[in-house]
């Protein structure tokens, strides 16, 4: 498939454990975003990668959260010492940018990882 792929689709973990979430963006998409969505709530921006530029980490809620992306490929979001309030759907999205550098491509979202911390 040509869409954004996220794994795992569901993750149940015990409080205090570390989890790693994976996102495979659409091939050729230079921009990659992570969002969090709690039940019944809106999307909460976490982090944004654009090519080889320094990522915008301004949305990460605490130092327990980190994310990496190598070039324009796979990204991983790591949550250390998980807490119950981390329970949410974690959505990854990717998009491309035109030569003028203006945003003209819609975000393509993956199906998300549903994280439950018990």
Partner 1 sequence: RKEVEQDPGPFNVPEGATVAFNCTYSNSASQSFFWYRQDCRKEPKLLMSVYSSGNEDGRFTAQLNRASQYISLLIRDSKLSDSATYLCVVLEGRSQGNLIFGKGTKLSVKP
When the beta carbons of 33 and 65 are compared against partner 1, the nearer one is: 33
Residues 96-115 that bind partner 1 (CB under 8 A): 97, 101-103, 106-107, 109-112
Strands in 38-96 per DSSP E: 43-50, 65-69, 75-79, 88-95
Which is nearest to 23 in space by CA: 46, 56, 39, 41?
A: 46
Q: Which is nearer to partner 1, 43 or 74 (CB)?
A: 43
Write the binding mask 38 to 77 for partner 1: x where contact by CB under 8 A, - elsewhere.
---xxx-x--x-x-----x-x-------------------
Instruction: Tell which positions 4-33 bind partner 1, by CB under 8 A.
Output: 31, 33
CA distance 111 to 30: 19
Closest CA to 93 of 11, 19, 37, 20: 37
Q: What is the dihedral of CA 91, 23, 114, 41, to 10 degrees?
A: -10
Interacting residue ranges for partner 1, rule: CB under 8 A: 31, 33, 35, 41-43, 45, 48, 50, 56, 58, 91, 95, 97, 101-103, 106-107, 109-112
């Amino acid at each position: 498939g040509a869409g954004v792929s996220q794994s795992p689709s569901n993750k149940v973990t015990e409080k205090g454990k570390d989890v790693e979430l994976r996102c495979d963006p659409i091939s050729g998409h230079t921009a990659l975003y992570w969002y969090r969505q709690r039940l019944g709530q809106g999307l909460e921006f976490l982090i944004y990668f654009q090519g080889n530029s320094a990522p915008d980490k301004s949305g990460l809620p605490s130092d327990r959260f980190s994310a990496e992306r190598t070039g324009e490929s796979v990204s991983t979001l790591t949550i250390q010492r998980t807490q119950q309030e981390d329970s949410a759907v974690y959505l990854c999205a990717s998009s491309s940018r035109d030569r003028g550098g203006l945003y003209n491509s819609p975000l393509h979202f993956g199906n998300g990882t549903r994280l439950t911390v018990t």
